[in-house]
A and B are shown apart, each in its own frame.
Chain A
Amino acid sequence: MSSMEVTNLTIQTFKKMFAEGKRFDGRKLTEHRPISIEYNISNKAEGSARVRLGKTEVIVGIKLAIGEPYPDSPDKGNLSVSGDLLPLASPRFQAGPPEFNAIELPRLVDRAIRDSGMIDFKQLVIKEGEKVWTLFIDVYPINDDGNLIDAASIGAMAALKRTVIPVLDKDGKIDHDKESKEKLIVSKETAPISFSFFKLGNSIIVDPTREEEECCETRVTFGISKWNGKYMINSCQKAGEVAFTQNEINTIMDLLPKKFDEVNESLKNLL
């Protein structure tokens, strides 16, 4: 039954329940499922993490490679986020050319991190203007039970906190046999996370299960971090055919810092 399409009956039921502030699993509309993080899930990666958000599981691996800087930023390393919705993770994912979801997921993870100030890309320069590190963040869902984007953003942020920079040999090539002790420096102040808000009827929920997510009419995802002591939104993307009202946007703006603090608090001992 896992691949059954969502029915109108389910949508109507959810709409009614959400309007009463209820969910099937007993959570409040703006409550997350329990989050857990494991590290070093692959010892070939320079940093890696597994995040579980309820039954949703995402793994993130970080590799560093030597590359050239972009002409407009000779004094900065590069960031590249990619990922694939593996058919392993859901009966809904198909092999073949990426569907839009598969393109959007890494792009949103990228944006939440890039502008947050979590990584100072200047530390990734090997020789200015010539050689820099490119940070490859690869995101793979292992089990999709909804809210993949937020799970992936937590995974990427967590993996970055435990990433090392490989050792170079005397010819300037990566020495894969030498264990590196040099950690990637990340901001202690901020842990950028994305939060997706889903709308059905007049209700807004967070961290939906796959079934809830498929019933919802539209979504907006915000990447948020702290910068110089202030909450900063670093990215936003609305996805879906239904619009948001100005009042809904304002409500989300009030909720966002609270959710950010709450999730950071629950991650405190995991990061």
Chain B
Amino acid sequence: MAKRSDGRKADELRPMMAKVGVVPNADGSAMFAFGNTIAIAAVYGPRLLHPQHMQDPATGILRCNYDLLSFSVSDRKKPGPNRRAQEISKVTEWALMPVLDLKEFPNTVIDVQIYIIQADAGTRTAGINAASLALAHAGIPMKDLVCSVACGKLDKDVVVDLTKEEEDYHEGEGATDFAIAKVANYDEYSLLQLDGKIQPEVLKQVVEISNKACKEIYEVQKKALKAIVEQEMGGKAK
């Protein structure tokens, strides 16, 4: 197989870092990093949705906003959401919805703000991991955490957690980028987004390999949540 530029094995994630409680003003917040990709997320709500005509008396709504900070990429990004960011915001909402039950919060909105501070591929998946932690930190009822990873293919080889350098791979079949989110302890895939060239049979393998990666991410997320509970409870939590 093609050797990965940073020497990782095919199914090896970059070093992960997760920290909960990074924005004191927010109801919940978290940072999540895959190697050089760093995402932060803050949750505000549930709070009454304005303008009032947008309120839904049957349920609360989830509203995500994802964007790259202007300096997070090689060529400065013009501030403000472009169509890519709008699309990622939407798929992030869809990725997180299966773990939430917002019927108990009629007429409200939960705002999830996700920003990328440093981008080295996999930004949407890092953002979803951070957002999942921030929602849990905000005390929103959730049936589980959502774990997300960008898998893919370098020429014909299936790999997880591609870097930007790997995404730009052009040999053979080139690079395929397949962002997946999974509800940690359920057979539910809530984000499936792909660009590239991949055969249907290989796509099945990638989904399989993402299960293992999601388990590792889940452990990192749980550890970060335990750390904040211990810190905020002054070490009294079990």
Q: Tell me the A residues contacting B by CB distance below 8 Å.
A: 100, 103-104, 107, 111, 114-115, 117, 218, 220, 224, 227, 230-247, 249-250, 253-254, 256-257
Inter-subunit contact A233/B200 (CB<8 Å)? yes
* Alpha-carbon gap, A256 to B90, bound state (A): 25
CB distance from A33 to the nearest CB of B (A): 24
**A107 CB contact (under 8 Å) in B87, B197, B211:** B87
Inter-subunit contact A249/B204 (CB<8 Å)? yes
Inter-subunit contact A242/B98 (CB<8 Å)? yes
Inter-subunit contact B192/A237 (CB<8 Å)? yes
Inter-subunit contact B98/A241 (CB<8 Å)? yes
Using known A-B contacts A103-B87, A241-B98, A243-B98, determine if residue A236 contacts B200 with beta carbons closer than 8 Å: no
Inter-subunit contact A241/B97 (CB<8 Å)? yes
Inter-subunit contact B187/A245 (CB<8 Å)? yes
Inter-subunit contact A238/B193 (CB<8 Å)? yes
* Alpha-carbon gap, A103 to B81, bound state (A): 13
Using known A-B contacts A107-B83, A237-B91, A249-B207, determine if residue A243 contacts B188 with beta carbons closer than 8 Å: yes
Q: Which residue in chain A gives the minimum CB-CB distance to B211?
A: A246
* Alpha-carbon gap, A60 to B156, bound state (A): 34
**B203 CB contact (under 8 Å) in A100, A233, A241, A244:** A233
B residues in contact with A236, CB < 8 Å: 178, 192-194, 203
Inter-subunit contact B195/A247 (CB<8 Å)? no
CB distance from A240 to the nearest CB of B (A): 6
Which residues between 185 and 228 of chain B lie within 8 Å of chain A, taking CB atoms? 186-201, 203-204, 207-208, 211
B121 at interface by CB-CB < 8 Å: no
* Alpha-carbon gap, A89 to B178, bound state (A): 33
Using known A-B contacts A242-B98, A249-B204, A253-B200, determine if residue A220 contacts B90 with beta carbons closer than 8 Å: no
A-B contacts, 10 of them at CB < 8 A, read A232-B173, A234-B197, A237-B194, A242-B98, A243-B183, A244-B188, A246-B187, A247-B187, A254-B200, A256-B200
Inter-subunit contact B91/A239 (CB<8 Å)? yes
* Alpha-carbon gap, A206 to B139, bound state (A): 39
B86 at interface by CB-CB < 8 Å: yes
Q: Which residue in chain A gives the minimum CB-CB distance to B200?
A: A253
A residues in contact with B71, CB < 8 Å: none
B residues in contact with A100, CB < 8 Å: 86-87, 90
Q: Which residue in chain A gives the minimum CB-CB distance to B193?
A: A237
A residues in contact with B192, CB < 8 Å: 220, 236-238, 244, 249
B169 at interface by CB-CB < 8 Å: no
A residues in contact with B173, CB < 8 Å: 232
A residues in contact with B204, CB < 8 Å: 249-250, 253
Chief secondary structure at chain A's binding surface: mixed
A residues in contact with B190, CB < 8 Å: 238, 243
CB distance from B48 to the nearest CB of A (A): 22
Q: Which residue in chain A gives the minimum CB-CB distance to B96?
A: A241
* Alpha-carbon gap, A236 to B178, bound state (A): 8
B residues in contact with A220, CB < 8 Å: 192
Using known A-B contacts A115-B196, A232-B197, determine if residue A103 contacts B83 with beta carbons closer than 8 Å: yes
* Alpha-carbon gap, A117 to B172, bound state (A): 12
Closest 9 CB pairs of A and B: A243-B188, A236-B194, A241-B97, A238-B192, A253-B200, A243-B190, A243-B98, A232-B197, A245-B187
B residues in contact with A242, CB < 8 Å: 97-98
CB distance from B135 to the nearest CB of A (A): 15
Inter-subunit contact A233/B189 (CB<8 Å)? no
B residues in contact with A117, CB < 8 Å: 197
Q: Which residue in chain B gives the minimum CB-CB distance to A245?
A: B187
Using known A-B contacts A249-B207, A257-B200, determine if residue A243 contacts B189 with beta carbons closer than 8 Å: yes
CB distance from B139 to the nearest CB of A (A): 21
* Alpha-carbon gap, A111 to B177, bound state (A): 12
CB distance from B199 to the nearest CB of A (A): 6
Inter-subunit contact B83/A230 (CB<8 Å)? no
Using known A-B contacts A243-B188, A246-B187, A249-B189, determine if residue A233 contacts B198 with beta carbons closer than 8 Å: yes
One digit per residue, 1 when the CB lies within 8 angstroms of any chain A CB and 0 when it does not, for chain B 26-64 equals: 000000000000000000000000000000000000000
* Alpha-carbon gap, A247 to B186, bound state (A): 12
Interface centre among B174, B187, B200, B211 (most CB of A within 10 A): B200
Q: Which residue in chain B gives the minimum CB-CB distance to A236?
A: B194
Interface centre among B87, B93, B178, B192 (most CB of A within 10 A): B192
* Alpha-carbon gap, A232 to B86, bound state (A): 27
Given A115-B195, A233-B197, 14 other A-B residues pairs in contact with their CB atoms under 8 A: A100-B90, A103-B86, A220-B192, A231-B199, A236-B194, A238-B191, A240-B94, A243-B98, A243-B190, A245-B187, A246-B187, A249-B192, A249-B207, A253-B203
Inter-subunit contact A232/B195 (CB<8 Å)? no
CB distance from B150 to the nearest CB of A (A): 13
